[in-house]
Each structure stands twice: as structure tokens, then as C-alpha cells.
Amino acid sequence: MKIAIVNDLKIALESIKRVVQSNPDYEIIWTAENGEEAVALASTFKPDLILMDLIMPVMNGVKATAEIMKKSPTAILIVTASVGMNSAMVFDAMGHGALDAVSTPVMESPGQVKGGEALLKKIATLEKLFTDKNKKVKNGDVTPGAAADKFLLIGSSTGGPKALSVILSSLKPDPHLSVTIIQHVDAKFAGELAAWLTNQSGHKVKIAEEGETPSGGMVYLAGKDDHLLLDALGRFYYSPEPVEYPYRPSVDVFFNSAIANSRMKGVAVLLTGMGRDGGEGLLNLRKAGWYTIAQDEKTSVVYGMPKAAAELGAAVRILPLEQISKEISNQLLNGIKKNA
């Protein structure tokens, strides 16, 4: 796997290099000290993965991510020591196409690196996404139900935070509507994403907790590295199964868990993202009577997940991002249309 590193701090660059080079299957093909250098290098020597810092001179990691995704789309992992203080920048970068984020490994004497395992695990997970995009998930044996009487399920990945903020900001608060979001994001940043979406949208967004029943007027976000599902009593729970599935938390797993109970109907949406997660789950929801929507190619940062839905015939409508919230509102207000 060919990897590039973008970081202006020599000690951080050295610690990241040591971690990457500990795996003989990883090759560092170039390094850059700022985003401007990274944009130029990415267009000439395209790597499989770029490890991108956020705070840099000349051009920061958010701008560099946006420019690279426009000119020479490449998988980007944010590697930064300042996630807590700059969570808005992390999600802004993810909105432009970064896949995920992880803390920068720290060099400790004598020559030891702390945090290297987390970085290697994240790289391995992303590598698996590149090579295992067609893996399928079977329906779980769960029977969900919930206290709210209207439901909106949303799955998203690359570019998801920005797309989610656009949709939620355009939806009026509804005490009868429960919204659940499955966004591919490391559990360490899920709480920050919930807070960011709350500030961006005006809706109360919280992490879905074990044993909690989805309530009207709330937006729930999957908050662990395990899969989020609904149990037989309509309560959230987390499960490591299926263990081998590369997307964690998985949109397919959650969508499939919302099928068994006929009392639970509503709208399901699949947004921008790499891979095929959510496509089969959206198809199963459509067959079960849900109204299904996929984001179109033009407004997707990465047209992978919604493309899978389109190819499967899983979406009743394929819409640009700015039209999705209006269609959601129309369906929930006028009653879900029957769709074959």
C-alpha cells in the first residue's frame, strides 16, 4: 500500500513514519510539510492513502483535503494531535472527503511511539474497505419497535458530516419523529460529531445508548466502533457481529435491523460515501415498505454507497443533496407512498 504523509512538525512526521514503516506492506512514497505541497504531489504521484494533518502553514488540512478531492481524488485519513480543540475542522475535512480521523502517535524516549497501534488499525480498516467493497451482510434476527410514530434512518460515510448538517438544518423539529444516523466515524470522535451537528442544525443530536428506546423529537448517532441495532423491544444495542464486516458501524446492519416489525415505517436515506455499505439494507427497507432516497452523483463527495443503491434499484428517488430534506418532509407529512 502506497502512503503519503502531510505534517509540518518534524517530530510528528518522524513518529508517523516509524509507525507506517513497521508494516512491511506499507510504502511511504512522499511527505509534505503543508497542504499546498500535498495538493501538487497528489496530482503527480498519487498514493493509495494520504495521512493528513490539520494545522499547517500555507494551506491547512481542510483546504488541502478539499483541493485533493476535486483535482485527484484520493483516500485521506486525518492524523492530528488537536482533535479535541479543533473538532469542527475534523468534521469540515470529513465533509470534503476525508474518510476518518485518528490521533497522531507521540514519540517517547527511548525511541518508543505511543499511539501507533491505533493508527495502524485505522489504516488496516481503510485498506480493507478498498479491497472488500462487495461483501454482503445478512439480515439479523431482530424485531425492532419504537416509541415514536415517524422514523427517519440515514446512512453516510465520506462527506457525510457536511451532508448531514445540510439535511438536518432543513428539517423542522417534530416531536413525533425519531432520527437515527449511522455515520462511518471512529468512536473517539462520535461525541464531538454529535455536538457539532447539534450546533450546525439546531436539532438535539445525541449518542445512541445501550438499552435506549428511540424517542420523538430526537436525533440519535451511532457512537461505538461496534454495529448499532434495534432489539426485539425496539431498544438500541451494540454488537461486534458481523466481526469481519469492514464498515463499523455498518449502515446495512442497522437498516436490516429495522425491517422485522411492521409498526416501524418511515423514510431511509443513503448519502455520500466510499464502498457499498447501505445499498442492500436500503433495498430491503424498500421491499418492506419504507420510502427510500439516495443522494445523486453530482452532489456526492464520493459516489460509492449511493451508487450501490442506485445499481440495486434500492432508491425510490435519487436526489441532489439540497432536495432530500424537502422530500423527507413531504413523505412524513403526507404519509409514506407505496413503492414496488
The single-letter DSSP state of residue 303 is B
- CATH of 2-131, picked from 3.40.50.920, 3.50.50.60, 3.40.50.2300, 3.30.70.120, is 3.40.50.2300
**Upstream peptide bond of 242 is cis (omega within 30 degrees of 0):** yes
Dihedral angle sign, alpha carbons of residues 82, 154, 133, 140: positive
Q: Which residues belong to CATH 3.40.50.2300 in the chain?
A: 2-131
Residue 85: how many CA atoms within 13 Å on its side-chain side?
A: 5
Q: Which residues belong to CATH 3.40.50.180 in the chain?
A: 150-334
pTM: 0.76
Which active-site residues does the annotation give? Answer: 157, 184, 277
Rounded CA gap, 266 and 281, in Å?
14
Read off the pLDDT of each residue in 32-58 and give the average, rounded to a whole number: 95
pLDDT tens digits, one per residue of 212-270 = 989 999 999 999 989 999 987 788 999 999 888 888 899 999 999 998 765 678 999 99
Read off the pLDDT of each residue in 68-91 and give the average, rounded to a whole number: 83
Task: Spell out the CATH class of 150-334.
Answer: alpha beta
